Amino acid sequence: MSSAVTQTGAGADGAQRTLLRTKVEAAASTYQEVAGWEEVAAHAASLGQRVAIAPSLHAALPSLAAMLEGHGRTVVVPGEDDPAADVADVPVAIVAGAMAVAETGSVLVSEHELRDRVVTMLCQRLLQVVAADDVVDRLEDAAAWLAPRGGQAGFASLMTGPSRTADIERSLTIGVQGPDEVDVLVLTGADAAAEESTS
Amino acid sequence: MSELRSFDERYATALADPDVRGGLTAFQRGWRDSRDAAIADLEAQEGRSFDELRAELAAIKDGVLADWEHHLDSFTDNATAAGAEVVRVATPGEANALITARMQAAGADLMVKGKSMVSEEIGLNGHLEAAGIPPVETDLGEWILQLAAETPSHLVMPAIHKRKEVIAELFERVLKRPFPPDDIDRMVKVARTELRERFLASSVGLSGANALIAEGGSIMLVCNEGNNRMSVALPKLHVVTAGIEKLIPTYADAMKQVRLLGRSATGQPITVYTNFLTGPRPGQEQLIILLDNGRTAMAEDPDVAAALRCIRCGACADVCPPYGVVGGHAFGHVYTGAIGLVNTSFHHGIEAAAGPQSLCVSCGACATVCPVDIPLPVQILEVRENVARAGEAGNAGRVTRLALRAFQHPRLVDLGMRAVGVATTPVRRGGVTALPSALTARGPLAERIGWRTPPAVPPRPARDTLRRGRLEEPPRLADQPLAGRKVQLFLQCVSDRMAPDIPIAAAKLLRAAGAQVTVPRDQHCCGLPAYDSGEQDTAKSMVRQTMEALADGADVVTPASSCLAMLGHDAPYLLRDDLAEVERAQELAGRTYDLISYLTSGPGRLPAGSLDDGDRTPVTVHRFCQASNTLGRTDAIEAFLRDVAGVPVVPLPEASECCGFGGSTSVRNPELSAGILDRKLGCVDQTASSVLITDNPGCILHLRGGVHASGREVEVLHLAEYLVRRLPGATASPQER
Ligand code: SF4
């Protein structure tokens, strides 16, 4: 997909990504810019022996699995039958975001099927990958992505940081039913385009 | 989940639990800091004020109400196109029956629930249990409450009334292993291990909806924990329960709600997950139940329709002083906080609304933070009138009503108060009534009266002293902004009869500034006490009486800001049924001032340094809550004291919070009032000031009583009392007793 924002030049992009970084970090995620998918794979490989790839990302970018295997990692792509069981103990997962919203540091992830959703729900550490071109300014840009998809079955989430609660004495605790850790990776290199077709 | 107990029982339980108040005060303070910071950030980001932003969201929600059927249809069509089944139901009974039948048909034996206030509203858990299909709450707070067999006490933070020690004990008892109370992380993590199997095993999941987006048929569902995402994704049937007021036209509108919702609820710019669900996932069914249960009736009642804008952020509880003392189990029914005082009578009947109504102090704080700008204080008083009419308020209500009706008659009040003044001469001790310690120290009455020493009733009201020619000519100020100007002094019933020094001091000040002060004879009471008690007919007749008494077109100045709240703000609304009366009320409002506004921004504006002779001991200032919240006054008294009187002012923490006087609350629910007063005096202690200045006589008598009863060494003064001491040639303490 392409974002709802028009290109405003490198300077504006820089400011937008600086804001994105600030907001992502404020939400207790990490932020990094990477040249391409090879760097994503290397980062994931450094975090665990088994790595889950969201099925929709795997379908759009089958080479990612090979990159991970090149690092000696076991790749898990949850299947139709019992996707939750497939990813139950996987420590690291990779998902592609449709866009990242600088205003809030959120990544919009579209995941209609259960086997996509288990990846973002059940893994402990989640890598959210977004192409630099898909970094947008405002929540309204996310609304503009959602609006034409109205009336058709779908599920999309603005994800902002790791899961958390403050239900006990308002004390902030990270990691409840969702991931404990989230890394936002922005693809700045040429092969960012390869990711376009995934979302 | 336990059934809701009677209001009296809930109130008594809350008061008996010392944890409730301590925990809630800390919670409210923490919320305030994060919410204020988050809203300030938003204002900077958007380049617009909170008021502009909330007006925008309010207009969007009002637009839905104006064309409700259209939006409902459009939501239904779009959700249906995406594969959902949308069913509208009128009553909780229908909703429960539908859900139970569906679950039985599907052979389900377990339901995982995300947080849903509508499911609480309809009492779903009880129904499912009776049908032998246990629901499992998956939000951490809701799960804790389910283990404890309790209901939520807050819209957003359901278990906020529970301290960590209590939760640790509960977990130990239920899960049979040790939980150190300081290890909150461990308690949180146990929810993941305990609940994961349930998520995987359950064939039905339930969620609420934060918004129903008409243009696409999507449900917007926000959460931080991620539990909601699991309960809507994993089961084969996803049931949504939502009130029909959750409609919003477009995705872009929903984003405006997002911006205000997280910040108002928890001080977060956005929740961790903001999910947009359109139809079921492949292999799943989705049943969306849209509940009316009194909402259409609300929409048709212009006095309360705006309450349907509510986005359930909980902010109105987070700033509510009575909520901070007793929590949501007493302050509310199923819906807690200020909004609960409005919508309960529509969703659960007038009887359910009556008890909590009596706890509201009418301080107006809720309206200042509501992100959809619902006029909550006004709506609460409308419901209160219905409660009073329905006569459900019990004996206390009847006594109040009779007293207020008697109070309408100036002659009666005059004779009565003079008689009390004479009768209590033997126990009058410098401004307070000395009660025998046998009554106040222990025994059944101690808790109800021991916390506040009652004021003394002087033998002569202020109006006697202020009769023409009685008051000696006060010294004149160098500057005479009021030279030759006629000012009608409105004494206020409380200070006239119980604190005459206040209007007398005000008269002296105004004369020192050059005014020709008159005290219209027929003045009595502005009607505020009656209005606050839901006695609108009585209140109206008192407003009319006051308009009559002050008909002479000169400026009206009162030392009581509460009367300004009534005459300057509430009266035109109260008389809204008669345009001619509204005009009269507005005309009076236009020339009525409280003393501080008259001296700072009104005709009596005193130049800097005018009163800077005298004591320079630092003082602190309590801001009368309605002046801050309703009249929008901020630091006028502090600025005046600093600039005009040259006195250092130590900022009072939570300066605008109610002191607990709150009209009839302190009489009907003294324990509650004592709790609020305690918080206020604790803040005064923090300033280490020995002089507390404010400008509403009711608050002053209340604060003085609390200071006296607690043995504190703080002098509580009306601004006028403090200032007359600084007039040229004044003695240190000119008050007569
Ligand atoms: S009434 Fe306003 S402040 Fe209270 S919960 Fe609703 S939206 Fe929030």
Specify the CATH number for the domain of residue B239: 3.40.50.10420
Predicted confidence at residue B594, as pLDDT, reads 94
- Nearest CA to B315 out of B352, B275, B268 is that of B268
Bridge partners, B488 (sequence order): B518, B556
Reading the block at residue B708, the tokens are 């006296």
Euclidean distance between CA atoms B239 and B232, whole angstroms = 8
Reading the block at residue A128, the tokens are 């959210």
Q: Which of B268, B296, B324 is the last residue of a domain?
A: B296
What 3-state DSSP class applies to B127? helix
The single-letter code of the amino acid at B52 is E
Average pLDDT of the residues of chain B? 90
- Per-residue pLDDT reduced to its tens digit, A74-86: 999 999 999 999 9
Euclidean distance between CA atoms B306 and B339, whole angstroms = 11
Give a yes or no: residue A113 inside a domain.
Answer: yes
CA-derived radius of gyration, chain A: 16
Residues of B in contact with A179 (CB under 8 A): 226
Euclidean distance between CA atoms B402 and B477, whole angstroms = 46
Helix axes of B376-390 and B350-357: crossing angle, nearest 10 degrees:
120
Q: Which of B279, B296, B313 is the last residue of a domain?
A: B296
Tokens 């009296």, residue?
B8
Tell me how many domains chain B contains.
2
Whether A6 and chain B come into contact, CB under 8 Å, resolves to: no
Give a yes or no: residue A185 inside a domain.
Answer: yes
* pLDDT (mean) for B300-321: 96
More confident residue, B453 or A111: A111
Residues 6 or more apart whose CB falls under 8 angstroms from that of B101 comprise none
- Exposure on the CB side of residue B20, measured as CA atoms within 13 A: 22
Predicted confidence at residue A191, as pLDDT, reads 60
Give a yes or no: residue B337 inside a domain.
Answer: no
Give DSSP secondary structure letters for B189-225.
HHHHHHHHHHHHH-SEEEE--SEEETTTTEEEEEESS
Does the Cβ of B339 fall within 6 Å of ligand 1?
A: yes
Predicted confidence at residue B441, as pLDDT, reads 63
Q: Does residue B482 contact residue B513 with C-beta atoms inside 8 Å?
A: yes
| B678 phi and psi angles, rounded to 5 deg | -60, -45
- Which of A119, A164, A168, A173 is the best substitution to test chain B (most B C-beta atoms within 10 A)? A168
Whether A144 and chain B come into contact, CB under 8 Å, resolves to: yes
Residue B410 pLDDT exceeds 80: no
* pLDDT (mean) for B535-546: 93
CA-derived radius of gyration, chain B: 28
Q: Tell the burial category of B529 from Cβ atoms under 10 Å away from its Cβ (0-12, 13-18, 19+).
A: buried
Residues of B in contact with A152 (CB under 8 A): 81-82, 278-279
Which A residues, 90 through 109, put their C-beta within 8 Å of a C-beta on chain B?
A: 103-104, 106
Tokens 């259209």, residue?
B70
- Nearest CA to B270 out of A187, A125, A142 is that of A142
Residues of A in contact with B185 (CB under 8 A): 173
More confident residue, B355 or B573: B573
Does the Cβ of B623 fall within 6 Å of ligand 1?
A: no
Domain hosting residue A158, numbered range: 11-195
Q: Residue A89 is part of a domain; what is its CATH number?
A: 3.40.50.10420
Compute CA distances B243 → A61, B247, B312, whole Å. 42, 9, 11
Domain hosting residue B569, numbered range: 427-724
Reading the block at residue B198, the tokens are 């349930």
Distance from CA of A116 to the nearest CA of B (A): 10
Compute CA distances B295 → A47, A159, B67, B346, whole Å. 52, 32, 14, 7
pTM of the predicted protein model: 0.91
Q: Do A178 and B272 touch (CB under 8 A)?
A: yes
What 3-state DSSP class applies to B492? coil
- Which of A169, A182, A184 is the best substitution to test chain B (most B C-beta atoms within 10 A)? A169
Residue B393 pLDDT exceeds 60: no
Q: Which helix (DSSP H) or strand (DSSP E) does residue A44 occupy?
A: helix A37-45
Residue B328 pLDDT exceeds 70: yes
Predicted confidence at residue B443, as pLDDT, reads 61
- Nearest CA to B665 out of B285, B393, B274 is that of B393
The single-letter code of the amino acid at B345 is S
Give DSSP secondary structure letters for B238-281.
EEEEEEGGGEES-HHHHHHHHHHHHHHHHS-SS-SEEEEEESPP
Q: Indicate the length of chain A as a whole number.
A: 199
Tell me how many domains chain A contains.
1
Tell me which of A164-173, B216-225, B690-699 is least confident.
A164-173
Distance from CA of B456 to the nearest CA of A (A): 43
Residue A131 pLDDT exceeds 90: yes
Euclidean distance between CA atoms A126 and A184, whole angstroms = 9
Give the range with max mean pLDDT: B346-355, B418-427, B468-477. B346-355
Whether B148 and chain A come into contact, CB under 8 Å, resolves to: no
Q: Tell the burial category of B16 from Cβ atoms under 10 Å away from its Cβ (0-12, 13-18, 19+).
A: exposed
- Which of B142, B220, B273 is the best substitution to test chain A (most A C-beta atoms within 10 A)? B273
Give a yes or no: residue B350 inside a domain.
Answer: no
Spacing, Cα B371 to ligand 1 middle (Å):
7
Predicted confidence at residue B396, as pLDDT, reads 59
Give a yes or no: residue B308 inside a domain.
Answer: no
Residue B132 pLDDT exceeds 70: yes
Report residue B350's pLDDT band, with 50, 70 and 90 as the boundaries.
confident
Q: Which of B296, B331, B355 is the last residue of a domain?
A: B296
Q: Does residue B361 contact residue B322 with C-beta atoms inside 8 Å?
A: yes
* pLDDT (mean) for B393-408: 67
Instruction: Indicate left, alpha or beta for B469 from its phi (over 0: left) and psi (-120 to 50: alpha).
Output: left
Report residue B387's pLDDT band, with 50, 70 and 90 as the boundaries.
confident
Give a yes or no: residue A3 inside a domain.
Answer: no
Tokens 């599907």, residue?
B106
Tokens 């290890």, residue?
B183
Reading the block at residue B373, the tokens are 């700008």
Does the Cβ of B359 fall within 6 Å of ligand 1?
A: no
Q: Does residue A82 contact residue A59 with C-beta atoms inside 8 Å?
A: no
In this structure, the answer to whether residues B27 and B173 fall within a common structural domain is yes
Q: Do B164 and A169 touch (CB under 8 A)?
A: yes
Q: Does residue A11 contact residue A142 with C-beta atoms inside 8 Å?
A: no
Which B residues, 209 through 248, put their C-beta within 8 Å of a C-beta on chain A?
A: 213, 215-218, 224-227, 229-230, 233-234
Residues 6 or more apart whose CB falls under 8 angstroms from that of B597 comprise B564, B633, B636
Residues 6 or more apart whose CB falls under 8 angstroms from that of B647 comprise B612, B615, B616, B617, B618, B619, B641
Q: What is the DSSP letter of B554?
A: S
CA geometry: angle at A80 spanning A75 and A81, to 5°?
105
Does the Cβ of B316 fall within 6 Å of ligand 1?
A: yes
* pLDDT (mean) for A94-117: 97
Q: Does residue B656 contact residue B667 with C-beta atoms inside 8 Å?
A: no
Residues of B in contact with A166 (CB under 8 A): 157, 224, 266
Q: Does residue B463 contact residue B519 with C-beta atoms inside 8 Å?
A: yes
Query: Helices (H) and strands (E) in chain A — how many of each?
Result: 8, 12
